Copies of this chain bind each other. A is one copy, B any other.
Amino acid sequence: MTLQVIPVKFQKEIESNDDLVDLILESFEMNDDDILVFSQKIISKNEDRILSLSSVSPSLLADGIASSYGKDPRLVELILSESKRIVRMENGVIIVETKHGFVCANAGIDESNVEDGYATLLPNDPDRSANLLKEKIKQKTGKNVAVIISDTFGRPFRLGQTDIAIGIAGLEPILDYNGKPDTFGKIMQVTAIAIADEICSASELVMGKIQKCPIAVIRNYNFNSSTAKIQEMLRSDHDDLFR
């Protein structure tokens, strides 16, 4: 069956008191088993995870890193405060492990698509954000949907960024083929597909970065329902050859 990736556009900029579900329902009718993908940015704006850089006082460490790496010390202070540890620091790039466990540049802090002098931080608990939206949709429409919060991360080895999942509600994020027969009846051993990340990447294709399209809906994808958390997608230190 043809998979659909449907853009949901908003004319207004999202603020902290907006009801995202009401805004979606103004222009979009949900079906059972739709997967709603929200960009990190509107969730962060909606949850007031947005900060004026002028309100940040850099520590001595942030000042030092900023001067060595050509960064704004207030931004470095924010990155450090959102991180468990620095993973790599080179070529003007700061790769950290965030409090949630995501390995990414700048702790996911982002100055694009917000007012000048402001930056968005990742949601504190993106699984919770996703679950609240899922529950509110159930309340208001009676529909059972899955929800993913998506962000744009770089990666090793390859240029360009792709969208991946930072929070999930209602679906199994990894489709595990281990122990299943392939088309020749042979048992597969290491195939486990990160479908939540693939869904975010598919959604990014309609969201873009300049189209005021912060939500996409995936329709006709047959996912497994689950109460899984995003941590199930993260490699442990021990299991990671590149940490």
Contact = CB atoms under 8 A, between A and B. Distances in A.
Given A204-B193, A210-B181, A235-B156, A198 B162 contact: yes
B241 A93 contact: yes
Protomer copies: 2
Interface string A156-181: 11111111100000000111010011
B194 A205 contact: no
Given A7-B2, A152-B191, A152-B193, A158 B201 contact: no
Contact of A241 (B114, B156, B188): B156
B235 A180 contact: no
A195 B207 CA distance: 12
A88 B243 CA distance: 12
Contacts of A114: 184
B2 A159 contact: no
Interface in A224-242: 232-235, 239-242
A209 B233 contact: no
A162 B194 contact: yes
Contact of A197 (B160, B184, B188, B242): B160
Sorting the interface of chain A by its residue count into under 10, 10 to 19, 20 to 34 or 35 or more gives 35 or more
B209 A158 contact: no
B159 A90 contact: no
B240 A156 contact: yes
A69 to B, nearest CB: 13
| Most B CB within 10 A of own CB, among A1, A3, A232 | A3
B161 A116 contact: no
B209 A157 contact: no
A232 to B, nearest CB: 7
Interface of A: 1-7, 13, 88, 90-91, 93, 95, 102-103, 111-116, 152, 155-164, 173-175, 177, 180-184, 186, 188, 191-195, 197-199, 201-202, 204-206, 209-210, 212, 218, 221, 232-235, 239-243
Given A156-B156, A161-B193, 12 more contacts: A2-B6, A88-B241, A91-B239, A91-B241, A112-B191, A116-B184, A156-B242, A158-B234, A160-B175, A160-B194, A162-B198, A182-B209
